[in-house]
Amino acid sequence: MSFPAHLIDGYRAFLVSRLRHEQDRYRALSERGQSPQVMVIGCCDSRVSPEVIFDAGPGELFVVRNVANIVPPYAPDGQAHGVSAALEFGIAALKIKHIVVLGHAQCGGVKAFAEDAQPLTPGDFIGQWMALMAPAAEKTGPKGSLSPAEYLTRLEQANVVNSLNNLMTFPRLRKVIERGEVAVHGAYFGVATGQLSVRDEASGEFLPVAQEEHARLFATPRF
């Protein structure tokens, strides 16, 4: 199979629309290098693109994406750790100011974990990876009388918080956070409605942002 034709078409669209309007910026970003202020740790999910949700232009977001937006805890064991390497690059080389962990509704990774909590075999990569969210499941507690959808939402949000907690296990990152040089934030995207929520640090709740605009959007028919 050759390179997908619709990707080439998409690239042509990029060429004549985005690149046409932003070619000076791409050139400048090439000459000066990138200097994003925000790092996003998001999910691979095809419905949750950080650049789309935050309408970000080239040079704005330094983005890690893995299944279920997971930050594993600090583990200086001499092994290759992708998220840890990205954090190190973001903080030390790029001097990032904000780290956003962006979770979302209907996360396939979280669902896989909820339905089958044990990794099956050493080659069960999804199981091993999702096991990193075990502390989130523990804090969420038993399903009790929650509907499956409600339970998954809680688990997805607890998983964001677990990633935020794991950020604090990196000594160097903890230091710059405590000094107020870097801030960390939790966010959550509702795929069905497009509503973004941001975690309120005081209450721990995920609160909808731009709620008035969002309500208006759904209240006014286009025609």
Q: Based on CB atoms, which residue is closest to a second copy, 85 or 141?
A: 85
Instruction: Using alpha carbons, select from 183, 129, 121 the residue that is nearest to residue 159.
Output: 129
Q: Based on CB atoms, which residue is closest to a second copy, 52 or 145?
A: 52
Whether 44 has a binding-site annotation, put simply, is no
Does 4 interact with a second copy (rule: CB under 8 A)?
yes
Nearest approach in angstroms of CB 175 to a second copy is: 14
In this structure, the strands spanning 196-199 and 206-208 are antiparallel
Determine which helix (DSSP H) or strand (DSSP E) holds 65, and give its type and residue range.
strand 61-66
Does 154 interact with a second copy (rule: CB under 8 A)?
no
Among positions 20, 115, 145, 179, the unique one binding a second copy when judged by CB under 8 A: 20
Does 136 interact with a second copy (rule: CB under 8 A)?
no
Classify the phi-psi angles of 68: left when phi > 0, otherwise alpha if psi is within -120 to 50, otherwise beta: left
Instruction: Using alpha carbons, select from 179, 181, 170 the residue that is nearest to residue 97.
Output: 181
| CA distances in angstroms from 193 to 33, 133, 208, listed in the order given | 36, 26, 11
Query: Which positions from 113 to 132 touch a second copy by CB under 8 A, shown as an x/- string?
Result: ------x-xxxxxx-xxxxx
Nearest approach in angstroms of CB 146 to a second copy is: 19
